[in-house]
Amino acid sequence: MRLYRMNTATIGADIPVPCSLIRTDAGQHIPIDTGYAPEIVAASQHPEHRGIRVGQYRPIVEHLADLGLGVTDIDILIATHLDTDHAGMIDAFSRASTRRRSPPRRRASPPIAAIGTRPDSAIVRSMVTPCSCRASR
């Protein structure tokens, strides 16, 4: 099993908006979160926009392409919660056989907890493969 980290954007003072992809030993591809939709990013750039500005945007579909994958290669999609920075591109993955999310108004446990391992453990660190497709700084 491999875990890929993909930075899809930044907000504020270079705070990353990460997504992850699990590639199982059985060949399944499971993204965790999808990042912003392009129209949200465009709206954040409007001169009259008073909210958070989104920068260094690179949609998850481009990161997947760098790994040789397209949206039709996704088997299961996990959205940790339904904020626009986590689930903005969820509709692009309509082929995914299962969509999992936390109950409304409640955050899900960290995805690593589903594997049963602490995020800082050696096992998880050995699974993480930095993706060359990170947003540039």
**Statement: residue 119 has pLDDT above 90:** no
**At CA 40, angle to CA 132 and CA 44, rounded to 5?**
95
The domains of the chain are located at: 2-130
Lowest mean pLDDT among 23-32, 80-89, 122-131: 122-131
Mean pLDDT of 115-122: 37
Higher pLDDT, 4 or 133: 4
Residue 118 has pLDDT above 50, yes or no: no
Supply the DSSP symbol for 4.
E
For domain 2-130, the CATH class is alpha beta
The reply to whether the predicted model has a pTM over 0.95 is no
